[in-house]
Structure 1
Amino acid sequence: MTKSLQYDTALAAFVSITEASSFEVSITLTTTGGVVTGRLVSGTKWAELNIELLKEANGDVAGLNQFYDFYLKKLTGEAEEIKTIHSSLDSVKVPDDYREAIASVSRPAYIHLQDARILGPSGLVPSGPAAPWRGRLAEVVGWSLGEIQG
């Protein structure tokens, strides 16, 4: 029996590169819920963008701001921990099955977009300023580089 993939490995590689660096790229995703287009960014940048949106918002958003501050610190700590683990393994002879198990733990589960727009029946939504977007990598069924313009 073959094991079915829960995600696209090429897309996961793009997400991993984005998480480990300042690499960003325009991308269009077909998800189980529809089509979304924007700029692929790291989870850290996604949290920073949400914090900026909250600072610009009117009203009481202190609770949400605390959430994103906490989340940003958590993401930064996890990214550093993963880098440390991988650099430690570079100098150690580890069997391939163990290396694969460690890699699967650090495999991205979510994908983050900046300036995300959703393709609807009347075109791209929102028509004004776009927002940060987060989705499960396993829910992406197709993708292409570049954004839909409209």
Structure 2
Amino acid sequence: MQGTTTADDEPAQPVADAHLELLVRLVEAQSGASMALSLTTPGGIVSGRLVGSAVWAERWREAVREAVRAEDHADQLIQLPHIVQDAMPETDAAGLHDFVHLVDVTFLSAPGPPTTPLWRGRVRDISGWSLGAPR
């Protein structure tokens, strides 16, 4: 989302990035679809594979299983993304996605570069994006 629009008596509303919304819809519509994407956010540049929320939720399950191993009560934590998906709509009242989901993520603005298996960010916090990953 970039910029805002205002009316005299209405609060500022984010302006949708139609291209990014289309990419999110494409990966949501095709089971297992993904594409390399780099995002500019207030925290820095994040690069990874854009995936649908169901793919991200499954990867969450795998990551939690790996992190907690045989810990008690891990089942509740493993199921968290599915519980959220069942309780909340994927899109807002205008039919636009609120979140972007990445897997196999690299944070390009941090020293290192550090990586993580999953990232979830608000669409309205993305100020720019590009297809592909840095080389």
Q: One-letter code of the match for 1:120? A: S
Instruction: State the alpha-carbon separation in 1 of the partners of residues 76 and 110 from structure 2.
Output: 36
Q: What does the per-residue CA deviation read over 1:115-142, in whole Å, with 9 as the maximum and x for residues that have no partner?
A: 011013534213xxx3110000000000
Corresponding residue of 2:118: 132
Offset at residue 56 of structure 1 (A):
1.9
TM-score (norm 2): 0.74
Residue 29 of structure 2 corresponds to 20
Paired with 2:44 and 2:21, the residues of 1 have a C-alpha distance of 19
Unmatched tracts of structure 2, length 5 or more: 7-12
Q: Which runs of 4+ in 1 moved over 6 A?
A: 76-79
Deviates more, 1:54-63 or 1:107-116: 54-63
Bigger strand fraction: 2
* Cα displacement string for residues 76-118 of structure 1 (whole angstroms, at most 9, x for unaligned residues): 6877x98xxxxxxxxxxxxxxxxxx96x1x3110000010110
Displacement, 1:67? Answer: 3.8
Name the aligned partner's letter for residue 44 of structure 1. A
The correspondence for 1:7, drawn from 1, 5, 16, is: 16
Tell me the distance in 1 between the aligned counterparts of 2:99 and 2:126. Answer: 10
d(CA) in 1 for partners of 2:49 and 2:82?
A: 19
Amino acid at match of 2:113: L
Q: Looking at secondary structure, tell me which structure has more helix per residue.
A: 1
Q: How many residues align?
A: 123
The one of the two structures with greater contact order (alpha-carbon pairs below 8 A, sep at least 6) is 1
Q: How does 1:98-109 map to 2 (within 5 A)?
A: 104=94, 106-109=95-98
Query: C-alpha root-mean-square deviation of aligned residues, in Å?
Result: 2.8
Residue 73 of structure 1 and its aligned partner are, at CA, apart by 5.3
Determine if the alignment matches structure 1 residue 118 to structure 2 residue 75. no
Residues of 2 paired with 1:123 and 1:70: CA distance? 30
**For the structure 1 residues 61 and 48, does the alpha-carbon distance in structure 2 shift closer, same or farther, using more than 3 Å as the test?**
farther
Aligned 1:74-89 pairs, distance under 5 A:
74-75=84-85
Deviates more, 1:11-20 or 1:26-35: 11-20
Q: From the CA coordinates, give the structure whose radius of gyration is larger.
A: 1
